[in-house]
Amino acid sequence: MDPLSRRVQEVEARCGVRIVLRAVHVPEQSFRGRLERRGGRVIIEYRDDTPGFFWHQDIIGELLDRLERGEDNVTLCDDDPETGRFPAGAQEPQ
């Protein structure tokens, strides 16, 4: 079993929910991923625009961390000050 699948199973067991991973293609360039609790399961959607690259693993890992901290409705964007990520070419606010 790969490390990401193992991590998802561990979080499912700890949080008592079924986690569904879904790759999405969205027009918003800043969108990275989201998690949303729907009934007894959690949907994790992540941007996956570049086949062959594994950037989505960091996004999924970050969303799993947030779920373990008790958050159940999170959207991550490149300009999210909590993550310190900003769009390409943008400068961090002073």
Domains of the chain: 3-77 (3.30.160)
Check: CB of residue 48 under 8 Å from CB of residue 18: no
pLDDT digits (tens, 9 = 90+) for 41-92: 999 999 887 666 677 888 999 999 999 999 999 999 987 455 545 444 444 4
**Residue 82, token pair as written in the block:** 């909590």
pLDDT digits (tens, 9 = 90+) for 16-47: 999 999 999 888 888 899 999 998 899 999 98
Report the interhelical angle of 55-68 vs 3-15 (nearest 10°).
Answer: 20
Please state the pTM of the whole predicted model.
Answer: 0.78
Check: CB of residue 2 under 8 Å from CB of residue 61: no
